[in-house]
Structure formats: C-alpha cells, structure tokens
Structure 1
Amino acid sequence: MRTRAGCQMDPVGVRRGLQDALMRSLDSEAHLGSEALVRERRALLHDGADLVQELLLEPVLPYDSTAPIGPIARATGLTDQETGLLTRALFSSPPEGFKLRQHQADSWQIAATDRGRHNPIVTSGTGSGKTEAFLLPVLSRLLLEGRTWQRPHGVERWWEVEQRPRWRQLRPESPDNAMRTMILYPMNALVEDQIVRLRRALRTIWDLGDPRSGSVATHQRRRGRGTFRAIVPWILCRRLPRSCGVKRRITSCSVTRVTLPSWHSSPIPGGSRCRPAGT
C-alpha cells in the first residue's frame, strides 16, 4: 500500500520517511552554506546518530470473542437495559449477540464476586482489550450502586449569596462521599488517552455534558454562561474533591505519591472505605 506521496506504508518506509523529514527540518533550521558540510552532516546523522530509533516490531495476536455478554452481565446482577448501556458505552455495539474476549469475561466475573479472589491481573498483549477488562467490573459496580442514588439536586449557586458563612460544594449529593475507583497509569501520556476513552464511555451511560476550558473567545463567553450553569457533573474547582470527595479518580502513580501523604489532600482518599472494584 502506498500513500499519495508514493512512500510505502510499512514500518521500514515510515522510518525512512520520518528520518528524511527530520533531516530536511534540520537543514532548514541550521542552514549551512557549504554543500560538502551538509552532505557530511547528513552522513553522520544517517549512520552514527540516534536520529531515529531502530524498529521495534511487536506481533499482535488475534483474540477471539467467545463469551456472550448477556449471561455474564445477568450473573453480576445487571438488567438487560443496564447491559445495553454498558455494551454501547465500552464497545459501541448493541448487546444482542455481542461476545467478550475470554480474559475480559474472566476479569469481570472474578472482580464481581464477593468470595475468594476478586483482584484479577490481565497480562494479555497490545490491542487485546485490557482497558475494557477492568472498566467492565468498575462501571457495572457503579451501575448497581447507582440504583439507590437519588436524583441529583440542582446547582447551589453559593457564589451569588452576599453573606455566606463558609464555602459549600456546588451540588450536594445523596450517595456517601467516597472514592469508588482509582485508576493508575504509569505514564501521563496513557492518562490523557484513557481519560478520553473513559469520558466517552461515561457520557454514553450518564448524560454528563462536556466541561469547557476557561480559554474561551470573548464573543463566546456570553453564550457559554448558560452552558456553564448546566455543567454540574464535572469538577471545575479544586476545593470540590477535598470537601465532598470523588467517585472516580484517574491519576498517575507519581501524583498519588504526592497527594496521599499530603494533609491538604488527605480528605480525598480518607473518606473512602469501600473495597476496590479490582486491581
């Protein structure tokens, strides 16, 4: 297969194209008037320098989908409607006839049990669906717990009150304030990617809207006021998790090492007394 430029779309062709692009960029940024010096620099970069790393090829083995999701979901206590929400959220597929990979089914069943082992470890390869293997038990447990939650109250606009005794959270909630899930990743790059995936899944299950950044153009600020008032499920203030807790927290190991011993952040994990959904 070839691109429009005629380069082969294989690992060797991609590496060669990337190397040529970096060399052209270097020639442009650090221009030399002598063609001989340019050729010598190119030869050094091509042969001796680590301008482009050597190829690392990882075979991706096919993983067959063999476990129907319906019986497993019913065994964990989910209704057909909740199973449909979960399947569409994680796999963008209807539940009818959908099958899980075996390690996903095993992880869900082990994490959902209250007896014996309930901390699965999934070591399958790249592209095998490891993320879904731990999100299935986490989200299904939240769905089960969410049955008893009352409808959230409206936004309490404490900032509009002239005389207020102390700061209050944006919206009081009926469930106990406790962190239900902590998701740790070894690198921040993985956190950014997984936040997008988890937000997309949660947006399918619960109508969470979408938090907007503060860098909004001037002509859009007036239009965004109504949107801001409607953004109630997202944490937009650092004081919220310290005062009322969080149900799901996505962070990295380095950040956790800083926040856990800190007295300033201690209420965040300190209010949680629930058994983790899985590790």
Structure 2
Amino acid sequence: MSNSILLQVENNIATITLNRPKVFNSFNKEMAHAMQDALDRCKEDDVRAVMIVGEGKAFCAGQDIQEITDPELNPGFKAILDDHYNPIVIKIRELEKPVVAAVNGVAAGAGANIALCCDVVIATESAAFIQAFSKIGLIPDSAGTWFLPRLIGFGKASAIAMLADKITANEAEQMGMIYKAIKDDEFLAFAKAKTEKLANLPTIALANTKKAFNASYSNNVEQQLALESKLQIESAQTEDYKEGVAAFMEKRSPKFKGN
C-alpha cells in the first residue's frame, strides 16, 4: 500500500490515515487507489469499526490540483470520478462496518464529501467544511449533491454549494451536517472513544442499520417496512442478539462479539 494512506488495525478498529500533509492530504491517483485498497482490507472479520483521519493540519483538501494541471499527470475528469472518488464513496457506504470520519482540520471539495458520506462525522472545533467547487468552475462531486440536501435541506445545501461558503464545525453541527464538533484538545480522544464503542457493539446489527438507511431515500414506506422486517429477522438470528437479551435479563453489560 502507498504511504499516502496509512492503515493500522488494532483491537478490531481500522484507522485509515490520509497521509499527504504537505498538500493538505489532497488526493491524487495513487492515493485514491490506496484508499480503495484500505477500505477493501476493512471488510475482513478482524475489523469491526473504521476511523478515517488526516495527518497534519488538514483532513483533506480534495483533489490535488497539481495532478489535473499537469498534462502528463492529468487522468481526465472521467477517470478521476469513475476510478478515484466514486469507488471510495461506494465502498464506504457498502462496507458492513461503521465508518467514523474524524475531521481534524479543513475538509474541502471531495474531501468534505468523503467525510459526509461516513456513518458518524466528528470534527475539531477549528475544522471547516467547504464545497469549493464553484470557485474553479466545477460542481460538487463525490456524492456531495446527494448527501448535502439530505443532511441539511435543499435550500441550505444549494446555497452552500453555489456560494462555496466556509462552514465551521460548530455551524455544521448546528445545521445537522455532522454529529459533533469537539474542542481541539479533546477531539482525538473523543473520536477514538466513539469508534471503540462502535467496535464493541453488535456488528451485524450495525451493518443492517446501515443497509436500511442506505435504502431509505429510494424506498416508499411499505418497501422500507418490508426491508426492516427482513433485516430485523436476520439480526435476531445472531449470537449478539442472544447476548444482548441475556445481558438485559441478567442486568449486566453485554459482551458482543460481532457475530
């Protein structure tokens, strides 16, 4: 794996670190493919939760402009979207594990939208989210036009995307864009604690929750009820369900194993 993406798996938690701090962790082709490889590794049974964080001062500044302005490096926008960013978003949404975006600094362009497609988004109070695309004559990609309206409403999403407003982490929390904005000196410990909590919850039930949310915007209510029934029956057949009920009856903390 490229050193532009670092992957550490410990205690059932996979930590993916975006590691190009000199360019604010902006993506190039190599880094995008390495990110996809890291997400594929997270499918394995020893991983029960994932945290994505940036090295240095930024979370991710989006696309590396140097790559697209160099004729010898530029793969073209079709490749950038179809081969680089779109697979990352799909892999995060289809991964049957909870994914935490630990936004340690600025998240701009595709970097913002990769964060927003995660299951839980936690940011430092000093972080900011910027849909920077209109500043260079582009539109939001990496599913930004899908997630933003669903997170914060059509009108606000449209304005933020067109005006390229800088949204502070506190503003993002207030408008429902992210889960929490945390003081900088408490941020990493908080994000790690939430990821650890997710890693110790019933993994199959969390995966099924994710599947249900993924389908919720395309299903009508009858279809969603049918899906919930299917996934609930599946969840009730797990060992973790048996443990959860037993722990409740015995008035003790459950010890889920992810199966």
**Between Structure 1 and Structure 2, whose CA radius of gyration is higher?**
1
> Which of the two has greater strand per residue?
2
TM-score past 0.5 threshold: no
- Could you say which TM-score interval applies, normalised by the shorter chain? under 0.3
TM-score, normalised on structure 2? Answer: 0.23
> Which of the two has greater helix per residue?
2
